[in-house]
Amino acid sequence: MIKRYALAMLVGVVFATAMTASVGAQQQQETWRFAVSGDSRNCGSVVMSGIASSARANNAAFYWHLGDLRYAQDFDEDMQRLSTLKNRTMSIVEYMRFAWPDFIEHQIKPFGDMPYYVTLGNHDVVFPRTRQDFIQQFADWLVTPALRDQRLKDDPDNRLIQTYYRWIQNGVSFYSLDNASPDMFDRGQMSWFNRTLAKDVADPSVRSIVVGMHAALPGSLAGSHSMESSVTGVETGRAVYKSLLDAQSKGKKVYVIQSHLHSYIAGAFNTDYWKANGGVLPGWVIGTAGAYMSHLPAGAAANATEAKEFTYGSLLATVRPDGEISFEFKPIAQTDVPADVAAKYGQDFVRYCFEENREK
């Protein structure tokens, strides 16, 4: 009887393993989507509600925020609006205490149970905020099972939670990098990135590599909204770019997504510099989630494959079974703001966000 029981258990394990492998293979044979954007300060609680509706309507597998959750250098207009409607004057102390919880309430919860990834932006470490503050506030989104399991798979001894991380989903390796301050990328992050990228290059099950960060890598059409604000940024940013070029040359499909600039650019690396220094990687700038809308930098519209200023929206990525990924800009109009959100903030404020929250 014991032998029969052991045999039955063995058959069950083999069957379960085969079913898991079959499900994994089936997932890699299907087309799927994800959504991404960044810079949701100022009017983000209004705009992000529309982005959440768009992501859900398009069956996105997850949403990825590329940083600058709140303004921090001054009051965000959406938070100030709610305070005014309550006939209250918000103090600086109150603002700093509630800015991130407000973000969670109004810019994460609208996505429901959709997995949500968050990247660090420069306004997220404005004094007195620190990276440790960010980790403490957003620990629930930095230690998800997917991120924890991937971290320990990459290095069983790595028990530290960082502001940079990666995960693999259906044959795509996603990197969320931290370049939120001029001292980045630092030595620890560069070492981790190079070591982990080498694993991807050697892994035949990884077909695509998607790298997301706040500021654009050097040599892009984003101009000053890039890592070119410091010597360290230029040197390490170029090193990351060249490592990605090398991964591409070895058969991986590589894509780079950034924000920081409050406009939309596709073909972000279609510049003379990268044409002369290794090649042009597919790249996007998508800082269009509610921040003060800005003009495109000089030359961006002429050299980009697509460029838009004074607009809100997100990128909808479609991943094909072979790992090829296409990206489509999904604009958010004033009429896309859910009725309950418009009622909460008032139609006059919604109009302000879409018509006046911009450079002159």
**Which CATH number is 255's domain given?**
3.60.21.10
174 domain-assigned? yes
15 domain-assigned? no
299 domain-assigned? yes
Taking the C-alpha atoms of residue 274 and residue 270, their distance in angstroms, rounded to an integer, is 7
Q: C-alpha angle 232/291/271, rounded to 5°?
A: 45
Mean pLDDT score, 249-268: 99
The model's confidence at residue 199, banded by pLDDT at 50, 70 and 90, is: very high
The model's confidence at residue 360, banded by pLDDT at 50, 70 and 90, is: confident
Could you read off the pLDDT of 285-302 as tens digits, one per residue?
A: 999 999 999 999 999 999
pLDDT at 322 over 70: yes
pLDDT at 347 over 60: yes
Q: Of 174, 134, 132, 131, nearest to 150 (Cα)?
A: 174
pLDDT at 225 over 90: yes
303 by Cβ neighbours in 10 Å (0-12 / 13-18 / 19+) ranks as middle
Taking the C-alpha atoms of residue 308 and residue 293, their distance in angstroms, rounded to an integer, is 10
With a pLDDT cut of 70, the percent of the chain lying above it is 92
19 domain-assigned? no
11 domain-assigned? no
Q: Of 247, 142, 232, 148, nearest to 194 (Cα)?
A: 247
Mean pLDDT score, 184-208: 98
Q: Of 265, 264, 258, 260, nearest to 241 (Cα)?
A: 258
pLDDT at 136 over 60: yes
| Domain residue limits at 303 | 30-355
Taking the C-alpha atoms of residue 254 and residue 174, their distance in angstroms, rounded to an integer, is 10
Which tokens hold the place of 136? Answer: 């403490």
The model's confidence at residue 344, banded by pLDDT at 50, 70 and 90, is: very high
Count of structural domains, the chain: 1
20 domain-assigned? no
The continuous run of DSSP H or E covering 23 comes out as: helix 2-28
Crossing angle of the two packed helices 231-249 and 187-202, in degrees rounded to 10: 10
Q: State how far the alpha carbon of 233 is from the alpha carbons of 15, 30, 250, in Å.
A: 51, 38, 26
320 domain-assigned? yes
pTM of the model: 0.91
25 domain-assigned? no
